[in-house]
Amino acid sequence: MIRLKKNIAVSDTGFVFDPSTGESFTVNETGMKIIGYLKEGKSSEEITSLITQEYNIDPLSFEKYSQDFMDMLKQYDMLEYEKEV
Partner 1 sequence: MNKKRLILGATGLNNTDNPGPGIPVIRSIRESGRYDLRVIGLAYETLEPGIYMRDLVDKVYQVPYPSEGSDVLMERIAYIQEREGIEVLIPNFDAELFTFMKAENKLKDLGIRTFLPTIQQFEERHKSNLEAFGKKYGVKVPKSKPLTNLAEIPKLREAFDYPLMVKGKFYDAYVAYNDEQVQMHYNKISAKWGLPVIIQEFVRGTEVNVIALGDGKGKTIGAVPMRKQYITDKGKAWGGITLDNSDMLALTDKIIRGTKWRGGMELELIRTPENDLYVIEINPRIPAWVYLAVGAGQNLPVALVELALGNDVPPFTSYETGKVFVRYSWDMIIDLKDFEAISTKGEI
In the complex, the residues that contact partner 1 under the rule CB under 8 A are 7, 9, 17, 19-22, 24, 77
Query: Whole-angstrom Cα distance, residue 46 to residue 53?
Result: 11
In this structure, how many other beta carbons lie within 10 angstroms of the beta carbon of residue 81? 8
Closest distance of CB 56 from partner 1, Å: 36
Judged by beta carbon, residue 9 or residue 72, the one nearer partner 1 is: 9
Closest distance of CB 20 from partner 1, Å: 5
Closest distance of CB 25 from partner 1, Å: 13
Judged by beta carbon, residue 23 or residue 45, the one nearer partner 1 is: 23
SS3 state at 34: helix
Instruction: For residue 61, give Cα distances in angstroms to 30, 35, 48, 51, 56.
Output: 14, 18, 10, 11, 10
